[in-house]
Amino acid sequence: MQVFEIDNVKIYNLSTGKSLPDWLTERKKRALLKKNVDLRRRIELIQEFDMPGVSTNIRVSKDGQYIMATGIYKPRIKCYDVNNLSLKFERCLDSEVVTFEILSDDYTKIVFLQCDRYIEFHVGHGRHYRLRVPRFGRDIAYYTNSCDLFVVGASSEIYRLNLELGQFLAPYVTKATEINCCAVNEEHGLLITGSGSGHVEAWDPRTKTRQGILDCAVHCTDYDYRNNSLPAITTVKFDKGLRMGVGTSTGHVLLYDIRSSKPLLVKDHLNEIPIKHIDFHKQLDYVYTMDSKVVKIWDKNTGKQYTSIESSVDFNDLCVVPNTGLSMMAVEEQKMQIYYIPSLGPAPRWCAFLDNLTEELETSASQTVYDDYKFVTKQELESLGLDHLLGTNLLRAYMHGYFVDVRLYKRAKSIADPFAFEDYKKRKIREKIEQERPSRIKIEDNLPKVNRDLATRLMDNNSRKKNQPADLLKDDRFKALFENPEFEVDKEAEEYRLLNPVMSKFTKNKVKDKEIETTVVQNKEEQDKDSDLELYESTEDSSDEDRTWVKEVKKQHKIIKYKKREADVLDNSNKETIYELSKAPNMSSNIRSITKVSKASLGDRLAKEGFSAMSSGIGGNKEMKFSMRGKKSESDKHKKMKKHYQERKQIVRRTGFLTKKKLSKMF
């Protein structure tokens, strides 16, 4: 049993507690009960109050002597006799039960609505009759005055099955396209139905006419205008003669007076999941409303929450024992849950001992494992050397592993790892020493989590200077630099490697010699210079360490430049075909040879690297090598030809003055 308190209301969960494995024999169970005190003190209100897989519906007979529940798998119904607190009978069904109703005061007459459009009638000895409805059903309601069974579902019609005549009557035709739920008032016999479009229709079985239509979707605030979908009515329930409750698919509960079209109260579960069940307390002004996550109990006059019941599994159905504080839930789990709230009423007569026990119980956590058995996987069995026990009674298969006795597990563990205790002892001693160390030596670490190296360097610089500036770690302008992880210095970035070689050297050698510190203090002028000038200038007074920094900077420059060149070559190779380098440049070669090659012409460099005189390009184009030449000098031959031209020009007579007439006269 578990006790918890919500809104200053004590709630007792009678379903939790230690449980025994089903495969144990009665003899072993009795032996465990004798040894274990907690097992003897556990409360098993009803024996075998569970299902093989999931429980779907739960009801209490009108005389209060029988509890009936349906579940899967296989589909079945279980009937419990509260006088003996045990199972009375169990029957398997052909298909899963959507809902069921108890027609008689005891268990002798039951009707089941199944998911395959069948309706089954059961009596005391078993199934009595089975018939089929035209459409898939979703809910049923029974009208005792005329013995009519109403069936609603994926249709606009309300099917009427008269149990006295044994035949279908003319159905009621509604304005809805589909109907989700229905209910009949026990006092005046009014039938109400909830549709998928957010309307509630009222029918009078005596006159067989519609009495009115109520639009509940207007009063729900979660109307989806984008999908143009209205809140659907998921459950309806009458409270005495004039009041009714309506639950919607958006998690709203509306309380109506049947004489008014406006709701008296609107309660929102704030979960945005459909309401599955509504029930009213017979003596107090409280309402039970349930969705798949929580059961809320609140005042029907003010809407103030009284208490709530939550569980780690989803709820399917709720049953409140009349005039008591006991409630039972069908859940998505094997074991059905039972809750007892003493402030809502006394315990039922068949479990009156709860009133005396609840005062003495203390809160205890529920355990889902067995104390005397250890669950191990197949890999663990092989590591322990117990795989040869597969198929014997010492191992019980369960899901992806096996249950083994704790004593056998501990003995095999000690044999497989004999030094486990020594390791455990050393670990405990080490932990105890680590706990005592802070009490003796207290190390104050005021460094931030972000940019610790930078903060350390700033603190060292401030400690060396006489006129210490304001603490940058506490300055509001720079505080985010040491708090926000986005400002973390990336030591692998190119800018850091090129512009901060001093910092990279500082991270490698955290411990500095005293001689270097004294030289740094003496040479204040060198510290005031720009860091870039110190890196690239090479003077006679520079130390060996400065020269190493300069070499490191040059080396980083070469590496970064070479990586960029490789990236450019890879990018260009995807676009067009270019000539490839025969060998990658050697970074360890002399810088002078590189500068000498760079001064040569393009043709000389291509000839030196072994390129052909002509290479094909994109689309069959040709590329040819060439070399730039200076101006042509006048050679001797050219001078002779020029002189000969001038001499000939002087000797040759002019003929430009001659015309055709003159030439004809001459000849």
Tokens of 259: 């004489």
- The owner of tokens 């107090």 is 284
199 within domain boundaries:
no
What pLDDT is attached to residue 140? Answer: 92
Residue-wise pLDDT tens digits, 6-51: 878 888 888 776 666 666 677 777 777 666 655 655 667 888 888 8
Give DSSP secondary structure letters for 107-128: SS-EEEEETTSEEEEE-SSSEE
Question: Over the stretch 463-502, which tens digit does the pLDDT of each residue have?
Answer: 666 555 556 667 777 777 777 777 787 777 777 766 666 5
Q: How far apart are the first and last CA of the chain?
A: 150
User: DSSP assignment, residue 291?
Assistant: -
Under the banding of pLDDT at 50, 70 and 90, the label for residue 114 is very high
Q: In this structure, are 296 and 340 located in the same domain?
A: yes
Residue 44 has what pLDDT?
Answer: 73
Domain final residue, candidates 360, 390, 409: 360
What pTM does this model have? 0.53
Same domain for 431 and 517?
A: no
Of 440, 455, 472, the residue that ends a domain is: 440
Strand order in the sheet with 395-398: 373-377, 401-405, 395-398
Q: Cα angle at 120 between 118 and 124, to 5 degrees?
A: 170
Residue 460 falls within a domain, yes or no? no
598 and 498 belong to one structural domain: yes
Same domain, residue pair 347 and 380: no
The alpha carbon dihedral of 396, 397, 399, 405 has a sign of positive
Does residue 654 sit within a domain?
Answer: no
For residue 396, tell me if it sits in a domain.
yes
Is 66 within 8 Å of 107 (Cβ atoms)? yes
Can you tell me the distance from the alpha carbon of 539 to that of 206, in angstroms, rounded to the nearest whole number?
A: 115
Residue range(s) defining the domain that contains residue 304: 1-44+276-360
Average the pLDDT over 220-234 and give the result.
67
Domain end residue (candidates: 360, 384, 403): 360
Please tell me the distance from the alpha carbon of residue 41 to that of residue 38, in angstroms, as a whole number. Answer: 5
Residue 282 lies in a domain: yes
The answer to whether residue 662 is domain-embedded is no
Q: Which two tokens stand for residue 645?
A: 């031209």
- 542 in a structural domain: yes
Q: How far apart are CA 506 and CA 457, in angstroms?
A: 9
DSSP three-state, residue 642: helix
503 with 590, same domain: the answer is: yes
Overall number of domains in the chain: 3
pLDDT at 154 over 80: yes
The answer to the question of residue 385 being in a domain is yes
Same domain for 597 and 532, yes or no, is: yes
* Percent share of the chain, pLDDT over 70: 70
Q: Are residues 542 and 503 in the same domain?
A: yes
pLDDT in tens, 550-574: 777 777 777 777 777 777 766 665 5
Tell whether the model's pLDDT for residue 650 goes beyond 70. yes
**Inter-residue contact 345 to 323 (CB < 8 Å):** yes
Check whether residue 346 and residue 380 sit in a common domain: no
Q: Do residue 547 and residue 588 come from a single domain? A: yes
Query: Does residue 289 sit in the same domain as residue 338?
Result: yes
Separation CA 130–CA 117 (nearest Å): 11
* Pair (347, 377) in one structural domain: no
* Residue owning tokens 């067989």: 208
Are both 522 and 551 inside the same structural domain?
Answer: yes
User: What local confidence, expressed as pLDDT, does residue 223 receive?
Assistant: 53
Q: Residues near 560 by Cβ (< 8 Å), separated by ≥ 6?
A: 494, 497, 498
